[in-house]
Amino acid sequence: MSAKNSTTHTLIERQLNVYLRERSAIWQCSYQVDGKWQRTSTGEKDLELAKKSAHEILIKANIRKEMNVAPITRTFKDMARLAIERMDKETDAGHGKVTYKDYKLAINNYLVPALGKLFIDNIDLKALDKLDAYRVQLMGKVPKRSTLVTHNAALNRVFDEAVLRGFMNEANRPKLVAKGKKGDRRPEFNVQEITAIEGNFDRWIERTRADSKPLRALLKDYVAVLLDTGARPGRELMTLKWTNIELKMYPVITPTDQVDEEGELIEIVDANRTAIISIQFSKTGKRKAIGRLPTVKALERIALRNYEKPLKELIDKGNSDHIFRYKEYLNDEAVAAGKVSRLIEPTSFPKLFDSYLEDHGLLIDPISNQRRVLYSLRHAYATLALTLDKTSIHTLAKQMGTSVGMIEKHYSHLDPVKAVHQLRGKESRQLLNATTEIDERYEYKETKKRKK
């Protein structure tokens, strides 16, 4: 046995040491088992007692190894903290996943409160049952299967960290199963309702105060793009920049049965203006999506409101601002004082959309009695693409950034579809454009203001 210095003592060369940390009177132990160094506290202030404790720790660790158990373990809370740190580092390095945010919420709000004090290699069926009970109590209901899948993925991140660091053996890792309540399919909008959504916006915008009009106008364009592309509300569009848009034209010439004054057959030319959208932040990574004429027109309106410039000029000059922002309203005094309008990121679209739907009798789906949300626009897009445009589910899956399996799962109630190689949406747009009269059910309804 040799001494390196007054605070470090080697008990077995290259296998067992005891040492003191700064500002600590408790001796620590470092030892090697199966080629890996482990560290733990001896729990002793006296050096001789600490040496005896260190030898016992090494013996127990070797016994645990022979029994196929991790030589030393840590609490779930410790491993959860390290798992979160790893996710944060991956995100900072630019290769983190969007789902990490959900995993961290699950870890902090559910997993650590229920399992935090247990040793990571002691988590068994009984502990998982405790977690299930805690989750139901906190939520006030049986969680949906999709929620449990997210929680299990988060739990596996913590187990991965424990195995990687030698605090748990793969053989002792619990097998997780998601048996939650099957989630209800989110309600969508039919053609009549979409017509009402699109047709009521302008009057709704004009009814509000001047300082609220820019935000309402942006919501109109945001909804138009969601309906036209099937994008996920939130991050997919809110992080888009003008540099992520490419304008293209795919002209379509349609012959008619009419002739002009010179006897030539009249042909109708559709420029078919298209926006190629490079979505940067998505649940499934980067992808390109197709925006048809409604998307192009929505982007043109935003460009004119915010910059007083045509869309093509913004794109050609490489403007790197975020697209979905609204221009700050300035009264006459602010303008006279020379104040310049800022571009503001909206933070209340879900609530504002709720208010818009409620004003026009569209908030509650009459069939399922469920509330519609912005995500319902994505379902409406998929339904129209499958039933009217007869888009291939493979093409639709790429456009929407999801899997064929998810398309089949959520839309298996629809009629079988035939594959085509386009996303122009000719049939659905023709039907929507032909239906311009808004059903009286969806006319604006004055709602009583709640007393504060």
Is it the case that residue 46 has pLDDT exceeding 90? Answer: yes
Domain stop point among 22, 44, 66: 66
Q: Among residues 138, 172, 206, which one ends one of the domains?
A: 172
Query: Does 186 or 368 have the greater pLDDT score?
Result: 368
Alpha-carbon gap, residue 323 to 277, rounded angstroms? 12
Give the pLDDT confidence score for residue 168 in this predicted structure: 79
Q: 266 and 397 share a domain?
A: yes
Question: Is residue 58 pLDDT above 90, yes or no?
Answer: no
Residues near 423 by beta carbon (within 8 Å), at least 6 away in sequence: 290, 292, 385, 389, 391, 395, 396, 399
How far apart (Å, rounded) are the C-alpha atoms in residues 28 and 50? 8
Token pair of 182 as six digits: 């099957």
Average pLDDT on 213-241 reads: 96
Same domain, 362 and 218: yes
Residue 449: per-residue pLDDT: 52
Measured CA to CA, the distance from residue 159 to residue 172 in angstroms comes to 10
Q: Is the pLDDT of residue 452 over 50?
A: no
Number of domains in the chain: 3
Q: Which region, left, alpha or beta, applies to residue 125 given φ > 0 means left and ψ of -120 to 50 means alpha?
A: alpha
- Mean pLDDT value across residues 187-198: 91
Comparing 123-137, 164-178, 227-241, 287-301, the range with the smallest average pLDDT is 164-178
Q: What is the mean pLDDT of residues 60-71?
A: 64
Which residues make beta-bridge pairs with 326?
344
Q: What is the CATH number of the domain that holds 285?
A: 1.10.443.10
Q: Is residue 452 part of a domain?
A: no
Task: Give dist(CA 255, CA 271) in Å, integer.
Answer: 14
- Residue 54 falls inside a structural domain: yes
| Co-location of 260 and 149 in the same domain | no
- Domain of residue 242, residue span: 191-442
Q: Are residues 82 and 55 in the same domain?
A: no
- pLDDT at 434 (0 to 100): 67
Digit-coded pLDDT (tens) for 398-431 = 999 998 888 887 776 664 433 333 445 666 766 6
How many angstroms separate the CA atoms of 411 and 406, rounded? 8
* pLDDT for res 443: 76
Tokens 């410039």, located at residue: 309
At residue 2, does pLDDT exceed 50? no
Contact 24, 14 (CB under 8 A): no
Residue 450 covered by a domain = no
Percentage of the chain with pLDDT > 90?
A: 54
Share of residues in the chain with pLDDT > 70 (%): 87
What local confidence, expressed as pLDDT, does residue 3 receive?
A: 46
Residue 86 lies in a domain: yes
> What's the pLDDT at 310?
95
Is residue 168 domain-shared with residue 207, that is, in the same domain?
A: no
pLDDT in tens, 111-155: 999 999 898 878 888 899 999 999 999 999 889 888 998 999 999
Domain assignment of residue 179, yes or no:
no
Judge if 383 and 285 occupy the same domain. Answer: yes
pLDDT at 82 over 50: yes
In a domain, 428, yes or no: yes
Last residue of a domain, one of 12, 32, 66: 66
168 and 213 in one domain?
no
Burial of 319 (0-12, 13-18, 19+ CB in 10 A): middle
Query: Do 337 and 249 sit in the same domain of this protein?
Result: yes
The pLDDT, as a whole number, for residue 337 is 93
Q: Is residue 186 part of a domain?
A: no
221 and 167 both lie in a single domain:
no
> Do residue 82 and residue 22 come from a single domain?
no
Query: 427 and 348 in one domain?
Result: yes
Q: Tell me whether residue 181 is in a domain.
A: no
Distance from C-alpha of 141 to C-alpha of 1, rounded to nearest angstrom: 61
CA neighbor of 120 nearest in space, from 70, 85, 86, 54: 70
Do 61 and 125 belong together in one domain? Answer: no
Quick: pLDDT tens for 357-378. Answer: 999 999 999 888 889 999 999 9
